[in-house]
Amino acid sequence: MPITTANHNRTAAVTSTQTQRLVVAFSAAILGAWLVYFAGFSHIEAVHNAAHDTRHSAAFPCH
């Protein structure tokens, strides 16, 4: 299914394939997992506390 975007007076058709969507989704999942792992197991107290406070402010239980 093509995605069409308008740019000023021109219309450009941008198509994305299933493979491209899967690559983007997989990359986002890997980046997100790495960020959660980094913040959760970080020995840098400020990073861990910032992630901890963010989880609590989003009403997400973490312990």
> Considering the domain boundaries, does residue 63 fall inside one?
no
Q: Give the pLDDT score at 54.
A: 76
Which pair of structure tokens corresponds to residue 43? 């020995």
> Considering the domain boundaries, does residue 62 fall inside one?
no
Q: Tell me how far the alpha carbon of residue 4 is from its chain's centroid.
A: 23
Q: Is the pLDDT of residue 41 over 70?
A: yes
Q: Which pLDDT band holds residue 44 (cuts at 50, 70, 90)?
A: confident
Q: In the predicted model, what is the mean pLDDT of residues 18-33?
A: 93
For 38, other C-beta atoms within 10 Å of its C-beta total: 13
DSSP three-state, residue 11: strand
The answer to whether 60 and 50 have CB atoms below 8 angstroms apart is: no
Q: Is the pLDDT of residue 28 over 60?
A: yes
pTM over cut 0.85: no
Residue 29 belongs to domain spanning? 3-57
Q: Where are the alpha helices (DSSP H) in the chain?
A: 18-40, 45-57
Please count the structural domains in the chain: 1
Tokens 């239980």 -> residue: 61
